Structure 1
Amino acid sequence: MDKKIVLQIPAILIEIGDLADRKGVPAYVVGGYVRDMLMHRSCSDIDIMVIGDPLPFAQTIKNELPGRNLVVFERFRTAQLEVSDSEKQTFKLEIVGARKESYNPDSRKPITETGTLEEDLARRDFTINALALSLNSSSRGLLVDQFNGIEHLSGRILRTPLEPKQTFSDDPLRMMRAARFSAQLDFRLDEAIILAMNEMHERIRIVSRERISQEFLKIMQCPKPSAGLSILYETGLLKEFMPEVALMAGIEQVDGLGHKDTLYHTFQVIDNVAAQSDKLWLRVAALLHDIAKPVTKRFYPSSGWTFHGHEAVGIRLVSKIFTAMRWPLEPSEYVRKMVRMHHRPIPLSKEEITDSAVRRLIVDAAEDLDDLMLLCRADVTSKNPRKVARIMSNFNNVEQRISEVAEKDLLAKWRPPIDGKDIMDTLGLSEGKLVGIMKSRMENAVIDGIIPYEREAALDYIKMLYRELS
């Protein structure tokens, strides 16, 4: 049903509407741009739906606005291009034709036919994305809202245009999108959506892992990722594509006088990181930092649950998850390092800190030291305020010692005072195992304070080593 709401639209859309009038084409802005306009959120991606063939209209926009970087997808009868307004702001347009869809039960790829405006809006994922804004001059700015999307926006609730089971059966990825929009927009899910997701979570298996990963990483980039992650776990979706994480639920770990569930502890750690950093892969490291606790847990009456070696097992699981989720390999080493080292600063916070121990932490963490310390602080989720204050004070001491040692030793961006080539040139050696052994022992000697961080001292040291090893 049309709500008699008329919105002011930007000049670039008025120009596109005038082009539509000249070509006799009914044209609407649909989906996320309309939603974000109503929520006063900035958005530069605009979906324009026309009644009829979209491709000639896309070409008209390119020729007359003008547009650029036109890409046509003949098979799907859609086109993409970019336009700029008078203030040089760039907009990415996707031009589509109104369509209706049907689905094979074993595939999320739709069988499409030309449809009406009403049929097109009915096929969309959520009512807040099933809003259309007329661009033609006779009804310009008129909002089409046949599924009460405005009401749901106002109430901050997600509902589907059709029955949730049909919406999710047609495209199971929409269940992931429900969790993402809930976290991204701070909306609650309608009870019918939650029930449908609980019943249908296994259907996500027909979706490619790449598409699942895209939605999952968008959840991880939300202001409070736990809002979406909790939905994924509680509806059974999480165990379908990341069972190693779901297994953390119910694993207890000692925390003062109480216990905490490792999965929800992990969700809190991610939120703590997200409050301090936008770095996606640091958030992923927070997700996976305790990933091996389910397989390393042991219970001792005297001390409770223990998880000995979970860092070492964890880095193997990180590699497995990166492969399964089709994540890029480049950040894998960073995440593995964070998982491997996330407990390293903790012993330093509980004892008299030696320069040698601090040097080793600086060298091993290298350029990721600040991220590691942020993760360690985020890992403190105790409800005991005195315990938290004590731990944070200890971490402050560690960071102070890091600063002191780094300044004293010039270790902030530590590099060995000499490299393998220096060793080979000084001793007249060719590349080989002996050079590697001497280089490693020289680096350890610097870190442990046996020799000063000076080039000449390092060269003298490798000469002495060479005499010993020859």
Structure 2
Amino acid sequence: MVTTVPDILFRIGEIADRSQMGCYLVGGYVRDMLMQRPCTDIDIMVLGDPVPFAKTVQKELGGRNFVLFERFRTARLELPDPEGATFTLELVGARKESYNHDSRKPITLKGTLEDDLSRRDFTINALALVLNHEGRGTIVDQHCGREDLEKKILRTPLAPLQTYSDDPLRMMRTARFAAQLGFTPAPEAVAAMATMHERIRIVSAERTSSEFLKIMQSPEPSVGLKLLHETGVLAEILPETAAMAGIEQIDGLGHKDTLYHTFQVVDNVARASQDLWLRIAALLHDVAKPQTKRFSKHAGWTFHGHDAVGVRAAARIFREMRWPQDRLVYVQKMIRMHHRPIPLSKEEITDSAIRRLMFDAGEDLEDLMTLCRADVTSKNPRKVARIMQNFGNVEKKIAEVGEKDLLAKWRPPVDGLEIMQELQLPEGRMVGMIKKEMENAIIDGTLPYEREAALEYVREAYRRLSGDGPPAAGK
């Protein structure tokens, strides 16, 4: 008997007994319980009408935030556990499903326990635990899910071609569980993904994106990313990223495989940071290299401007993947600046250069340095040690400058509106040029951070740039 099931869930089984209904814990909760992983989202399936049953559970056990989906024969509610936890329950009736070829939305009918378990994505999710008094705590395992759990294998209950054709999002879920749990997809599942990869096109961008971001949040995202790439799914959902794959050679000179380099950079960042959008920046930092790749007999392979082109590519990708626009600016900054610290690490570092890096990176300086370190993927340990030491010198110089917090939140002592008022100028190119000059002078240390000094600099800059003197101050 399984003893880790909270008693309040067995009380739900007692309510089902009064109506002579079979009642089971199903899906991810059973899997996570056997793996001793935390899980508070619980699916309970009954062999009968779940709607009146759910209402009874809510009434007798003090359920909160009750939501009923009568069309889908589903209810959701929260149950407080006496030990202090809160469980989110979804109560459903057993069902069987069929699909139209051009849709992943199932046509559902009342079904048996066998019907319900066989329609699941993986055998490890096709487990049921009895909540009724008879057989209480025993596990129903019709598809060898417990064996697959022990072997850490992802296998589909039905033929994988049927499973992925019915719901192509399951291909994304295969990659996600491989990355999240460290499980290995069965060979027939991988083969089916390669055969069915084009069917991912019928899935909405929102659903595809949700699974993709879960892969990126996993401990080792490259596990899922490589599976998506090698089966062709990645080229369907993120063609710009898949295009980075491959090595081209001319005159015996080749370049590194940008895609697999990128996968390694993503993993390096994942080991250093939980920040999802820094991981996305790592994924996209070289996304424009295929477009900017050139070969010169003198210089070899070059990728000039791939940072600027990558900024534009990121905007397209965010739009197509329905990613939040408020994170785009951050990711674009990381792409635009990911090479900035490298030259500093190779030369005598001036205070001025460090101030400019700190000013441009702002509050994201630490993230930028994390990305730059992650971008070092050479297999030559001496080269890696040398580069890392140089990055350490840059970080030491940042600490020595001693203005990190100030520059991260830096604002000019005089803004553009004040410049317009002071010089009686309309908004335009001249105002922008003067403002940029003033900011550069302060960052370079040639102009003190003082309002009156800044205004005097503004007036002098206007005289120099326009060949004319401005009106008297304040007029």
TM bracket (short chain): over 0.9
What is the aligned counterpart of 1:329 among 298, 301, 325? 325
- Alignment correspondent of 2:446: 450
- Alignment correspondent of 1:227: 223
What is the aligned counterpart of 2:93 among 91, 94, 97? 97
**Residues 21 and 136, structure 1, Cα contact 8 Å, conserved in 2:** yes
TM-superposed deviation, 1:259: 4.8
Supply the RMSD in Å over aligned alpha carbons: 2.0
In structure 2, distance between residues paired with 1:216 and 1:335 = 17
- Alignment correspondent of 1:50: 46
- 2:103 corresponds to which letter in structure 1? S
- 1:344 corresponds to which letter in structure 2? R
Indicate whether 1:432 and 2:400 are aligned. no
- Alignment correspondent of 1:210: 206
**Residues 367 and 413, structure 1, Cα contact 8 Å, conserved in 2:** yes
**Residues 252 and 262, structure 1, Cα contact 8 Å, conserved in 2:** no
TM-superposed deviation, 1:74: 2.0
- Alignment correspondent of 2:118: 122
- 2:162 corresponds to which letter in structure 1? Q
1:278-357 map, 5 Å: 278-357=274-353
Indicate whether 1:67 and 2:63 are aligned. yes
Percent identical: 67
In structure 2, distance between residues paired with 1:285 and 1:188 = 27
- Alignment correspondent of 1:459: 455
In structure 2, distance between residues paired with 1:78 and 1:244 = 40
1:26-41 map, 5 Å: 26-41=22-37
Q: 1:179 to 1:467 in 2, by over 3 A?
A: same
In structure 2, distance between residues paired with 1:13 and 1:286 = 43
In structure 2, distance between residues paired with 1:57 and 1:409 = 58
Structure 1 gap ranges (5+): none
TM-superposed deviation, 1:365: 1.0
- Alignment correspondent of 2:8: 12
In structure 2, distance between residues paired with 1:253 and 1:364 = 37
Q: 1:131 to 1:391 in 2, by over 3 A?
A: same
- Alignment correspondent of 2:236: 240
In structure 2, distance between residues paired with 1:407 and 1:447 = 11
- Alignment correspondent of 2:394: 398
TM-superposed deviation, 1:358: 1.4
Structure 2 gap ranges (5+): 470-475
What does the per-residue CA deviation read over 1:268-318, in whole Å, with 9 as the maximum and x for residues that have no partner?
000000001111111000000000011111122343211111111111111
Deviates more, 1:120-129 or 1:84-93: 84-93
In structure 1, distance between residues paired with 2:156 and 2:406 = 59
Q: Report the secondary structure of 1:88's partner residue.
A: coil
- Alignment correspondent of 1:159: 155
Q: 1:409 to 1:462 in 2, by over 3 A?
A: farther
In structure 2, distance between residues paired with 1:412 and 1:111 = 55
What does the per-residue CA deviation read over 1:356-397, in whole Å, with 9 as the maximum and x for residues that have no partner?
221221111111111111000000000001100111111111
Q: Report the secondary structure of 1:83's partner residue.
A: strand
TM-superposed deviation, 1:198: 1.1
TM-superposed deviation, 1:15: 2.2
Q: 1:430 to 1:140 in 2, by over 3 A?
A: farther
Indicate whether 1:417 and 2:429 are aligned. no
**Residues 55 and 79, structure 1, Cα contact 8 Å, conserved in 2:** yes
- Alignment correspondent of 2:473: none
- Alignment correspondent of 1:140: 136
In structure 2, distance between residues paired with 1:163 and 1:351 = 60
- Alignment correspondent of 1:260: 256
Q: 1:202 to 1:408 in 2, by over 3 A?
A: closer
- 2:31 corresponds to which letter in structure 1? R
TM-superposed deviation, 1:409: 9.5
The TM-score normalised by the length of structure 1 is 0.94
Deviates more, 1:224-233 or 1:440-449: 440-449
Deviates more, 1:244-253 or 1:149-158: 244-253
TM-superposed deviation, 1:6: 4.4
Q: Report the secondary structure of 2:326's partner residue.
A: coil
- Alignment correspondent of 2:191: 195
The TM-score normalised by the length of structure 2 is 0.93
What does the per-residue CA deviation read over 1:119-178, in whole Å, with 9 as the maximum and x for residues that have no partner?
100000000000000111122111000000000000001111011111111111111111
Q: Report the secondary structure of 2:134's partner residue.
A: helix
